[in-house]
Each structure stands twice: as C-alpha cells, then as structure tokens.
Amino acid sequence: MYIIKVGGGSQINLAGVVADLAELQEPYLVVLGANAARDALGVKLGIEKTELTSVSGYTSVYSDDDAIDLIMMAYAGLHNRRFVELCQRHNINAVGLSGLDGRLIQGERNRGIRVREGGKTLIKRDLSGKPRSVNGALLEMLITQGYRPVLSIPIIDEQGYAINSENDDIVSILQETLQADRIVQLIEAPGFLDDPDDPDSVVDLISANELKDREEQVKGRMKRKMLALRRLFNGGAKEVIIADGRTEHPVRDALAGKGTIIQ
C-alpha cells in the first residue's frame, strides 16, 4: 500500500498525477493539499489568512471559524471533488473524505501557540490541532473493496469539532496505522534541495538518520517538514520519495527514482 501526498500548490500537474495513478497496480490512498485553492477563494471572499510563528520557530496558519469554512469549501469541497472527478474520468473509483467523515482522522486540539507580539509572549488558541489516531478499519475496508480514498482537511477534535491540521502530520499518523510500503510526496520542486534557491541542488538520497541534523539547518515551514519526515520513520516508514509534482508524469517519475529518496 502506498500513501501519495499531493501538494496543494497551483503548479502541481493534477491531470498528470491522476493519469499515473490510473496505471498504478499497488493499492494507495491520496492525501490532497489545496493551499492555492484555499488562498484564491479566501481572496475572492475577503477572508484573510493569518500565519503565526511560534516562539520555537514553527510557522502555522491561524484557524478561526471563517478559516474552517474556507477549508471546507476549498479543500473538502472544490479541490477534493474536482480531484475525485478527475480520478473517476480515469476509472479510478476514488472516494473523497475529510477527517470528519467516519471520524477518519481524530486529533487533539492545540492548547494554544506561544507567540511574541509587541514584546510580549501571548498564547493564541485556534481551531487547529495534531492528528492522534486514524479510523484504519474504514480506510482498509474501502481500499480492500477497490476504492481509493482521497483525504483532505479538516480533521475532527475530541469534541467532534472540525479543526485544521498539517498534512505532513496526517501522513505520519496514517503511516503509523497503515504501515504503507512507500510514501510519495509531490511538491513544487524537483526534490529536497540542499540550497532552497538552487533547483539544481537536489539531494538524491538521504539517510533517515541524517534528518535530525537537516532539521537544524533549515527554517520556517521546512523545519516542520523535516520534523514530520523524522516522525514518519519513527512510525515505521521504509521509504519516502519527495518528487516534482509539476512534471508530465509526477508519480511515474517519483517511483522511477527521480527526486529525493529517504530511506
């Protein structure tokens, strides 16, 4: 079983991804991002995105009720359903689901993010949290019957409320439950770059042991990404492939070894 994480950037070649998935023999599920769709809709609706950077240096989106509405419309609504439609047109029997549905991705709401504002340290609490468990029975039932789950935020908190969460963390918890043989992450870059400004600096192979050192070298969202990768291997991942989602055949290329392989 593979987990295919498709980034939510506007340059991701979704038609190419789906055409490749239609050829894939291995069962899989998709974790689908929709940043670009969310941001575009937010602009149209006049809902502004607020990002917070915690005192420990991690950046995340501040999620109020409007932000959850936006996620439901853009992630679970438009982007997920258009992706499912694309799958169905390629005879992939996709089922689009959010973490709310069947309590698929159960999370724990964040107690608050410690931020610095005007020289003070404040705690800001929002509708976001960390995924803690997965309804593996439902996912396995669907996959066994030939369906291909396509998962999008929001996830569900302890009280049944919709909350935002990071897709990297969702992939980690899915891995812990489903023990996928391979995880493919399609992004808007040719792979993991040694120098973020140089697309020719793709690192072909990273050992899982190196991830801790790499995490200390990088900043912002990339810091969180490296932490999430480390958690994937703690959760039993054997192989993670970070590859370019913008090529003609993103999945085919990734499985052929293009991009960065982490083992």
Residues found near a copy of itself in the complex (CB under 8 A): 41, 44-45, 69, 72-74, 76-78, 81-82, 84-85, 88-91, 93-98, 100-103, 138, 141, 145, 147, 154, 156, 159-162
Least Å distance between CB 18 and a copy of itself? 11
Distance (Å, whole) CA 173 – CA 159: 19
- Phi-psi group of 76: left, alpha or beta (phi > 0 → left; psi -120 to 50 → alpha; rest → beta): alpha
Q: How far is the CB of 125 from a copy of itself (least distance, A)?
A: 18
Contact between 191 and 7 under an 8 Å Cβ cutoff? The reply is no
What single-letter DSSP state applies at residue 119? T
Inter-CA distances, 214 with 107, 195, 232, Å: 27, 12, 15
Say how far residue 156 (Cα) sits from the centre of its chain.
16
Rounded least distance, CB 62 to a copy of itself, Å: 20
Distance CA 60, CA 161 (A): 19
Nearer to a copy of itself, 82 or 246 (CB): 82
What's the closest the beta carbon of residue 165 comes to a copy of itself, in angstroms?
A: 14
Helix axes 167-178, 220-234, angle to 10 degrees: 0
DSSP 184-228: EEEESSSS-BSSTT-TT-B-SEE-GGGHHHHHHH--HHHHHHHHH
Closest contact distance (angstroms) between CB of 183 and a copy of itself is 24
Produce one character per residue of 228-254: b if its CB has 16 or more CB atoms within 10 Å, e if not. bbbbbbebebebbbbbbbbbebbbbbb
Least distance from a copy of itself to the Cβ atom of residue 26, Å: 20
